[in-house]
Structure 1
């Protein structure tokens, strides 16, 4: 972790911020040699310990996508922040970016829009869902409480009539929030 980033996060979120970031870094380093399935579960569980806080209360904005450093350092975020932090943590753990996608869903039991992270272990496989609502990592077919809408990553945007047959409709995310997030990641010196 770059000392400049630690100082920046301490200035924004208080002196405990650097300890939280270093704890996250130590967690990532401790996952070397751990199998793929266990890595997914551990990342989901580790980041799910961060408290859920609505954007308006936490950031003073209607919708804000925090960088993973902001999410961990501030010790709070909403569903997008959890999913984004999991995405970049798994990328740091060398899971292939092409297998990871952020997915907007309708959370049927909550009756609201929600974001999760999908991991597809191999082409044609049913994606696994990492979600801040549960510590389990299960195939999308087992999440009857989630209705897929669309998914995206830096490579494109997919419509999701169902999770097994996504159809790519763009070669970029098309999201201004995603582009803003990427700019802030670069400014923080984080690999995107």
Structure 2
């Protein structure tokens, strides 16, 4: 994750956690950045696109992409609980790799395609891939948020995906650290700081979105990811 988020990667599931007051600094920094609305993108791929990437990145990359697309088709008409379970299980098979090792950058938010091609990424890459896949299979945007948290037992920053069955319900946590999907009140090891989706940015409190503080295009790494996804050429 980036300096804008006051996060430092380590050889673990996340980087070193710093002050919970990072939001004020983050928003101030974002005022100097050119903002634009973050659109939602389809992650459906054609067989020709998958084949092209397979020729460039190898047979295993092609298989992972095809398995992902097959998953999207298979779960499209299932209930939301099953979609969550299947998507979480699928992406948690990927390998955790720190950005500094994987991308030779302190912070890089990979697209789902990049994540699958390279068979690895760090916590935000797991969360982003799950987010876009669940959006593709029909989970409404208001039910999903990517949450920046502190993993208390590890004393490290971390990212997870959260799902709200209703606006007032306790969110479920989809996490690459553990295989089970648990409600936030059963994850006392996570201290929530803020969360965002394709529309909004919230401060978090007691595992839930709390105060709306703006739109997600205030997050520079998120804006950069959107731009790459909009312009990626298969």
- Tell me the TM-score normalized by structure 2: 0.76
CA RMSD of aligned residues (A): 1.7
Q: Number of residues paired by the alignment?
A: 189
After superposition, residues 23-34 of structure 1 pair within 5 angstroms as 23-34=67-78
1:75-122 CA deviation, whole Å, 9 max, x = no partner? 000000000000001011100011111000000111110000011011
* Paired residue secondary structure (1:105): strand
Q: Distance in 2 between matches of 1:137 and 1:41?
A: 7
1:171 paired with 2:215, answer yes
Give 5+ residue unaligned stretches, structure 2.
1-44
* Paired residue secondary structure (2:205): coil
Q: CA deviation at 1:73?
A: 1.3
Give 5+ residue unaligned stretches, structure 1.
none
- Pick from 91, 94, 97: which aligns with 1:47? 91
- Tell me the TM-score normalized by structure 1: 0.92
* Paired residue secondary structure (1:157): strand
- Pick from 166, 189, 196: which aligns with 1:122? 166
Q: CA deviation at 1:8?
A: 4.4
Indicate the structure whose relative CO is greater, using CA pairs within 8 Å and at least 6 residues apart: 2
1:7 paired with 2:70, answer no
After superposition, residues 175-186 of structure 1 pair within 5 angstroms as 175-186=219-230
- Tell me the equivalent position of 2:21: none
- Pick from 103, 111, 132: which aligns with 1:59? 103
- Tell me the equivalent position of 1:76: 120
Q: Distance in 2 between matches of 1:180 and 1:23?
A: 27
1:4-36 CA deviation, whole Å, 9 max, x = no partner? 46524652x334322210111011111133221
